[in-house]
Structure 1
Amino acid sequence: MGLLDTALADGRCWSRVGDCFEVTRKPPGLRVADYKAVPFVPMEAIPQGGQYEPRYDQKPGADITSGTYFERGDLLIAKITPSFENGKQAWVKRLPAPFGYATTEVIPLRPTAAGYDRRLLFFYLLHPEIRSYVSERMEGSTGRQRVPEQVLLDLPYPKLPPDDQQAIADTLERVTLQVDLEEHSARTAAELKRAAMRELFTRGLRGEPQKETEIGPVPESWRVVELGSLCLPTDQVDLISEGDRVIHYIDVSSVSRESLRVETTTEYLLKDAPGRARKRVRSGDVIFATIRPTLLRAARIDEALDNQVCSTAFCVLRTADPEQLGKYVFYAVQRPEFLELLTRIETGASYPAVTDRQVKAQPIPLPPPDEQREIVAILEAIDRKIALHRDKRRVLEDLFKALLHKLMTGEIRVSDLDLSTLEHADESTSSAAEEAV
């Protein structure tokens, strides 16, 4: 049963957002032009998905001729599509001035009285069903639809005592803080990987002197070779003999930008799959996207996708030794320097691209086999760390969605939960709770 169709438990009842919050209005007589600097929040500065604070730009008051007035402590809710649907919203609790201005495409909300926890409304508006309910009531032309203020104010909202509001908001905030921590840890590990790749592919692991090459300094014992010299010929599927075979089709969107893994595929009859020429992939192959904005998105094919089909927007890199040389190639084509080489030769206005031939013609550094194995082992270990943090983040995001639904409806109570395994900043949570009401 959906959230808005649920009969609330524990004697709770439905009210309206407008019974607890109101739209902030500019005070009569305020002359913005009299202020030398006013914090300004453009749409791109508003986070989405659970982070509170936006970025604050500073503008001379005289330069602000339009915008939305708001005050410290307000919630800023994006009202235009697709920003609202994407969950772009902010809580301006650290606004460096009593008031500021934002894009005209937000609605600023503040409590009508003490005791209404801003965080609870902030989290409530992140519920997928709530965003869907409101977006269905947008008005305006296609592509420029907006949420009317009254729709937001009339939105059904659980009526809860202040103590329950704070307890639920504290719980949800603990989870979001942990989500942020896992994302930060994943990004830190990704930065470590980039730094490690710069060192590994230029200095190696043996501490030997370097030599200058066409791709920069590399250890003296290394060679610089064309990528294609390491690759075997690949094959295409035969539509005539295989057209009625069910295949798992790998599109560029199938490869995660974060994990560099094939995370989704689509089943088709081969003859109905997108594109005209279809490339066969084998277990251990490396697929490398050749069209922007997905250039440098790469993945290795595992056994589950052996003998399947990928988009022609991938260059398929197949080696005679996929477990060693193939893994080394997988990391070698992730190097930022490799992308830079390709961006210099890509062509096309709308969708700049490179050809398979151009990809395979690029030079890459090649260490001796034992050093290849060690480099791969180091980078695989970092990738496992990145994947662990991102997997934990996804689990926590699912937990947040489940708790949001069940706590708001009263299906479970905060006292029923044991979140002791969550690492969190107690001081941050309690401080936020004090500011939220």
Structure 2
Amino acid sequence: MEEWRKYKLKDFIEFNPKEKVPQGELCRKISMDQITPFTRFVESNIYEVYKGGAKFRNYDTIMARITPCLENGKTAYISSLHPEEVAVGSTEYIVLRKRENISDSKFIFYLAISPIVRDIAIKSMVGSSGRQRVQQDVLENYEIPIPSLPTQKNIAHILSVLDDKIELNKRINDNLN
């Protein structure tokens, strides 16, 4: 059996990677209200003039950092952008990106929605009632065992296939109603 290596999350995941979007540029925006809780994908055809906020690309995971959005499951895997497109969103997102040859982007999504990461993020929240935010440094420095990259890909593939089946069943049920 493979041994899993312990990583601080910041050594496994790139948090809020730097992206350039010039002020005033028209770009795709994914706002918090467009994320359906506990649903993998989010799509947006809304374009706005960039004024600020989180920036992300395909294969990034965006996770709400503010209450109650994080507790409600507002985390999404970005996959509907054009190649090389940078989209923008709320300043209340934490953007999670894979580290080359270390982590798998889909595995990161499933890790982000797991109780392992969600519970640490929720417990780290500080601020006034109703406006609490994740302490990102607590999340970044949290240490967990992680499998090898091939095993991450296998785990993410199995979970993706199961999610695909769940989504298909939901669509079938919606058509029956």
Dislocated runs of 4+, deviation >6 Å: none
- 2:137 aligns with one of 150, 153, 163: 150
Partner residue of 1:68 out of 54, 74, 94: 54
Partner Cα distance (1:185, 1:144) in 2:
38
Match of 2:80 among 87, 94, 99: 94
SS of match in other structure, 1:108 = strand
Distance 1:132 1:21 in 2: 17
| CA displacement, residues 1-32 of structure 1 (integer Å, 9 cap, x when unaligned) | xxxxxxxx7422321221121121234xx523
The residue that corresponds to 2:28 in the other structure is 39
Query: What is the rounded CA distance, in whole Å, between the counterparts of 1:136 and 1:115 in structure 2?
Result: 27
Question: 1:129 deviation in Å?
Answer: 4.6
Residue 81 of structure 2 aligns to a residue whose secondary structure is coil
1:129/1:69 Cα in 2 relative to 1: closer, same or farther (>3 Å)?
closer
Deviations 1:324-371 (A, max 9, x none): xxxxxxxxxxxxxxxxxxxxxxxxxxxxxxxxxxxxxxxxxxxxxxxx
TM-score (norm. length: structure 2): 0.88
Q: Does residue 14 in structure 1 map to residue 6 in structure 2? A: yes
Q: How many Å separate the matches in 1 of 2:96 and 2:115?
A: 20
Match of 2:69 in 1: 83
Equivalent residues of 1:54, 1:90 under 8 A apart:
no
Q: Which runs of 5+ in 2 are unaligned?
A: none
Amino acid at match of 2:30: V
Q: Is the 8 A contact 2:36 2:74 kept in 1?
A: yes
Of structures 1 and 2, the larger Rg is shown by 1
Q: Label 1:54 to 1:81 Cα distance change in 2 as closer, same or farther (>3 A).
A: farther
Residue 162 of structure 2: aligned partner: 175
Equivalenced residue count is: 175
TM-score normalised per structure 1: 0.38
CA displacement at 1:119 relative to structure 2: 1.1
Structure 1 position 164, deviation (Å): 0.4
Kindly state the Cα deviation for residue 55 of structure 1 after the two structures are TM-superposed. Answer: 2.7
For the Cα contact (< 8 Å) 2:7–2:143, is it kept in 1?
Answer: yes
Once superposed, what is the RMSD of the aligned Cα atoms?
Answer: 1.9
The share of aligned pairs that are identical, in percent, is: 24
Equivalent position of 1:316 in the other structure: none
Letter in 1 for 2:17: T
Residue of structure 1 equivalent to 2:95 = 108
**Alpha-carbon shift at residue 115 of structure 1 (Å):** 4.7
- Residues 141-183 of structure 1, C-alpha deviation per residue, up to 9 Å, x if partnerless? 1111111222232233332211101111111111111111111
